[in-house]
């Protein structure tokens, strides 16, 4: 018990963590909520903004569109992600490890780049569309909600795949073996033993897909046509050049947060009731399949990977394609756009690296401390910290960005318009990933080991560094990589927070796409892809496993 005296190191750390999260999440979100309760005209208290959201046909449609698109993308992600997880984790497929690594790559591509790339392939004038037309197939354009669902599904299914394959690996072999020995058919074993163990992870993967989809505004803006969603409306109310309505932006943001929060709570209740915790002493056996089954399974997995990585190919090709203004000349090559990105304007590239690295380093230490407290400290305080820490996952990036910008643009600490606010936003939005990967490992070490160290006279902090940190290290490293990679690809909070010279690669790409210049956009996009894939590849070699798979 000596670890938690009132004035112990950990209490100080706990308090600091709570204060940081309060200042960066709770308080700014509170001010958004407050704005939503004020009338835009008179500044007086009113429920009118919420009334508007639910009574105006237009906003009701946006809300419905948001839920419909995200719901559909979630369903499709589960449909394609779960089989992919099972086939690559449980069965013997040629190069399964490569398939798994490639399967996580869609996560690193900013979604709006994916959207633009798919438009180039399957839009009305798309390369594939024209090909289909030439062989007599009249495929419709994906411009519209279909395209949005396609992009969400292909870019977010790895969340389902990662969660589910981790769960599959935690099913102890003996469980299935005993079921088989008791005479159950393979199908019955799957239904009654494997599936129940995996279900909670399907649910959490699905939830992440849903949250990521509903907060996204880049994709619907680029290929949604006039199919409008809530996140887009909240964002455009905030940035409208005709003078937006901050109260309405607040109300729309709050509705968004309530939807995702409600689902998270539902999922938590559901999972906590059904969760089976076990430590897999013997991971499940990797089964061979018959020749034809292997071929089909492999074709499915490789095909899925190929399709989901098609945007990468488009971006890499477009980056070296000759352009004249917004017009692309496919088949003719030029290094002009890459040269411009590297020479004339290297600043956004340096900014991206500087900001992501700083946010990652801060997040790494913070995440380490928080996961320790969350795991070791049961009861309300650990629970509160866990809840507040995970809150940014359900808040749309643009909403959190707006909240931070509005909170820190006056008063004793002015951060709006500095690079510091970008680092803070990235830090608070991405640290939950680090906490997730780290605490999963922490659950495995018994508190008694550490207590023994303390009882032998080693001070708590040193015991922590000597005993706990080494065990957490793989989780810390993979958490850091996930933070770094997703921060590099981050747009939604950056676009509302960046200032002056602090534009990043994603902002650059988004703006070039917005002005119709896919050539320069792809040049930055290609640099972004390479700067993420190369370190991932090296780490994969160096660590001997895929860091993305520990999420």
Partner 1 sequence: MSMVWNKVSKMANGLVFGLAALGLTGTAALADEVVLYSSNQPELLDVIAQGFKEKTGHTMTSVRMGTGEAMKRIAAERANPLCDVFWSGDLAVLDNAKADFASYKSPEAAGLDASLVEKDAKWTASNTHLMIFMVNTDLIPEADMPKSWADLLDPRFKGKIVIGNPEKSGSAYAQVYGFYQMYGDKGLEKLVENATILDSSSLVYKGTAEGEFALGITMEYAAQRYVAGGNQKIKIVYPTDGVISAPEGAAMIKGSKHPEAAKQFMDYLLSKEVEDMIFAKYFRRATRPDAAEVVGMPATASLKIFNVDPTEAGNAKKSILAKWKKLVLNK
Residues binding partner 1 (CB under 8 A): 56-58, 119, 123-125, 141, 143, 221-222, 225-226, 228, 232, 236, 239-244, 323-327, 329, 340, 342-347, 350-351, 354, 409-410, 412-420, 498-501, 503, 508, 511-512, 514-517, 520
Beta pairing partners, 287: 91
Cα 196 → chain centroid: 25
Contact call for residues 172 and 137 (beta carbons, < 8 A): no
Residue whose CB is less far from partner 1, 11 or 236: 236
CB of 226 to partner 1, least distance (A): 5
Helix (H, G, I), strand (E, B) or coil at 91: strand
Tokens representing residue 484 in the block? 């770094």
CB of 224 to partner 1, least distance (A): 9
Compute the radius of gyration of the chain from its Cα atoms: 24
Tokens representing residue 489 in the block? 């690809």
CB of 347 to partner 1, least distance (A): 6
Residue whose CB is less far from partner 1, 349 or 480: 349
Contact call for residues 459 and 5 (beta carbons, < 8 A): no
Q: What angle do CA 310, 101, 478 make, to 5 degrees?
A: 125
Cβ-Cβ contacts under 8 Å for 246 (sequence gap 6 or more):
35, 40, 237, 238, 406
- Which residue's entry shows tokens 């990662």? 162
CA distance 142 to 149: 10
CB of 519 to partner 1, least distance (A): 10
CA distance 533 to 539: 10
Residue whose CB is less far from partner 1, 409 or 455: 409
- Which residue's entry shows tokens 């020995």? 181
User: In degrees rounded to 5, what are phi and psi of residue 240?
Assistant: -50, 130
Positive or negative CA dihedral for 307, 309, 311, 315? negative
Tokens representing residue 1 in the block? 């018990």
Residue whose CB is less far from partner 1, 160 or 222: 222
Residue whose CB is less far from partner 1, 159 or 510: 510
CA distance 400 to 404: 6
CA distance 455 to 459: 9
Residue whose CB is less far from partner 1, 220 or 479: 220
CB of 150 to partner 1, least distance (A): 15
Residue whose CB is less far from partner 1, 241 or 272: 241
Residue 276 gets the label, from left (phi > 0), alpha (psi -120 to 50) or beta, of beta
CA end-to-end span of the chain: 31
CB of 153 to partner 1, least distance (A): 21
CA distance 421 to 60: 33
Residue whose CB is less far from partner 1, 298 or 427: 427
CB of 346 to partner 1, least distance (A): 5
Residue whose CB is less far from partner 1, 343 or 448: 343
Residue whose CB is less far from partner 1, 180 or 322: 322
Cβ-Cβ contacts under 8 Å for 279 (sequence gap 6 or more):
170, 172, 444
Residue whose CB is less far from partner 1, 58 or 131: 58
- Which residue's entry shows tokens 């996140």? 231
Tokens representing residue 162 in the block? 């990662």
């Amino acid at each position: 018990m000596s670890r938690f005296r009132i004035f112990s190191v950990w209490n100080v750390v706990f308090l600091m963590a709570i204060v940081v999260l309060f200042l960066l999440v709770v308080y700014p979100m509170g001010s958004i909520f407050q704005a939503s309760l004020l009338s835009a005209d008179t500044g007086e208290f009113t429920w009118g903004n919420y009334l508007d959201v639910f009574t105006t046909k237009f906003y009701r449609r946006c809300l419905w569109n948001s839920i419909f698109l995200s719901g559909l993308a979630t369903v499709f992600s589960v449909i394609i992600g779960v089989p992919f997880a099972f086939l690559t984790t449980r069965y013997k497929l040629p190069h399964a490890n490569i398939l798994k690594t490639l399967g996580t790559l869609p996560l690193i591509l900013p979604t709006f780049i994916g959207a633009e790339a798919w438009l180039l392939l399957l839009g009305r004038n798309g390369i594939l569309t024209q090909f289909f037309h030439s062989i007599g197939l009249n495929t419709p354009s994906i411009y519209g909600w279909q395209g949005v669902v396609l992009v969400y599904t292909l870019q977010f299914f790895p969340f389902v795949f990662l969660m589910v394959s981790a769960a599959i690996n935690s099913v102890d072999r003996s469980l299935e073996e005993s079921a088989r020995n008791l005479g159950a058919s393979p199908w019955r074993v799957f239904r009654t033993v494997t599936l129940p163990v995996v279900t909670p992870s399907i649910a959490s993967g699905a939830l992440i897909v849903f949250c990521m989809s509903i907060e996204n505004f880049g994709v619907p803006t680029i290929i949604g046509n006039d199919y409008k969603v809530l996140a887009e409306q909240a964002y455009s109310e905030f940035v409208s050049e005709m003078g937006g309505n901050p109260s309405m932006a607040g109300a729309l943001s709050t509705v968004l947060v309530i939807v995702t929060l409600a689902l998270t709570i539902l999922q938590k209740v559901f999972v906590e009731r059904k969760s089976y915790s076990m430590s897999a002493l013997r991971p499940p056996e990797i089964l061979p399949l018959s020749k034809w089954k292997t071929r089909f399974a492999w074709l499915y997995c490789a095909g899925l990977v190929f399709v989901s990585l098609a945007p990468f190919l488009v971006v890499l090709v477009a980056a070296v394609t000759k352009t004249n203004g917004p017009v692309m000349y496919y088949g003719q090559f030029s290094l002009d756009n890459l040269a411009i990105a590297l020479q004339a304007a290297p600043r956004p590239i340096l900014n991206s690296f500087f900001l992501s690295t700083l946010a990652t380093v801060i997040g790494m230490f913070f995440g380490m401390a928080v996961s320790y407290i969350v795991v070791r400290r049961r009861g309300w305080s650990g629970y509160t910290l866990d809840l507040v820490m995970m809150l940014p996952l359900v808040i749309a990036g643009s909403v959190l960005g707006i909240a931070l910008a509005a909170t820190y643009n006056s008063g004793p600490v002015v951060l709006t318009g500095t690079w510091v606010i970008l680092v803070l936003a990235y830090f608070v939005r991405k640290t939950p990933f680090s906490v997730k990967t780290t605490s999963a490992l922490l659950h495995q070490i018994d508190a008694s080991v550490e207590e023994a160290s303390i009882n032998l006279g080693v001070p708590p902090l040193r015991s922590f560094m000597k005993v706990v940190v080494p065990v957490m290290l793989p989780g810390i490293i993979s958490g850091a990589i996930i933070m770094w990679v997703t921060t590099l690809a981050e747009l939604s909070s950056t676009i509302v927070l960046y200032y002056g010279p602090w534009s990043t690669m994603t902002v650059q790409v988004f703006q070039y796409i917005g002005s119709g210049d896919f050539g320069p956009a792809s040049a930055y996009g290609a640099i972004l892809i390479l700067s993420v894939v190369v370190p991932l590849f090296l780490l994969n070699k160096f660590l001997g496993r895929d860091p993305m798979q520990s999420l």
